[in-house]
Amino acid sequence: MDMKKRVSLELRHRSPAEVQELVLDNCRSSEGKIEGITEEFSNLELLSLINVGLTSVADIPKLDKLKKLELSDNRISGGLEVLAERLVNLTHLNLSGNKFKDISTLEPLKKLPQLKSLDLFNCEVTNLGDYRDSIFSLLPQLTYLDGYDADDCEASDSDGEADAVDDEGESEEFWEEEEDDEEDVVAEEDDDDSGDDEEGAVNGEVDSEEDDEDDDEEDDEEDEDEDSSPVKGEKRKRDQEDEEGEDDDE
């Protein structure tokens, strides 16, 4: 697939200004030149052109926000001045597997003040005896060359340690927040329990008062029954005497 068509596919109905990362690896460039990428990609931060058959970067547009440029496995041998002119904020540049033979061909990179990482794996220039010292002297702004700093410390190791410290700090904060949440939950449960106890005590008092009232009513009813029972007895006695009197009259 040619580079222009690949660019169109990668847009996916977006405007160039909306694209921050553009990966065009393994497509084919026409005559070894960059095609389909214009200054309209104004917010582009990563551009990957791995193994696309480039022999020149002369047609790369001005991309002020581009930070990472992947150009490995092409046939570029020079002409890096254009990168310093048009990619002023570049921080990572991968030129591995290209045709650079001399340190002098890399001198234009001195004009990239933000450049922190440069990769030249499998380039002939890496076979020079004083290769690493020469590059760090030529480009003092560099932090990493081929993945290692000037003291031969690997980039991924140092980055990994920093990430590990950050993760550990985040983990401690997470567990502290969890403990605080648990304490809050326990406190709320205690408040609910105390509220239930108070409510129960109040309900108990009310129930006790109601029971006392019921007992008083029962006592009153018994007293009334006792008071009324002699009267009923006297009435029966009178009824019997009246019957006896009627018999005598007869």
Q: Which domains does the chain have, with CATH numbers?
A: 3-145 (3.80.10.10)
Average pLDDT over residues 197-211: 51
Question: Does 11 score more than 80 pLDDT?
Answer: yes
Place of tokens 């009153």: 220
Question: Does 179 score more than 90 pLDDT?
Answer: no
Amino acid (1-letter code) at residue 99: K
Nearest to 94 by CA among 41, 51, 149, 30: 51
Question: Does 231 score more than 50 pLDDT?
Answer: no
pTM of this prediction?
A: 0.63
Average pLDDT over residues 203-229: 52
Which SS3 state, helix, strand or coil, does residue 143 take? Answer: coil
Nearest to 154 by CA among 145, 166, 164, 142: 145
Is the pLDDT higher at 74 or at 242? Answer: 74
Nearest to 108 by CA among 123, 127, 86, 131: 86
Average pLDDT over residues 120-139: 96
Question: Does 123 score more than 90 pLDDT?
Answer: yes
Chain mean pLDDT for the chain: 78
Q: Please count the other Cβ atoms lying within 10 Å of the Cβ belonging to residue 89.
A: 14
> What confidence category does residue 156 fall into, taking pLDDT thresholds of 50, 70 and 90?
low
* CA 169 – CA 185 distance, rounded (Å): 25
> What confidence category does residue 98 fall into, taking pLDDT thresholds of 50, 70 and 90?
very high
Candidate from 91-95, 150-154, 227-231, 238-242 with smallest mean pLDDT = 227-231
Six-digit token pair at 76?
């570029």
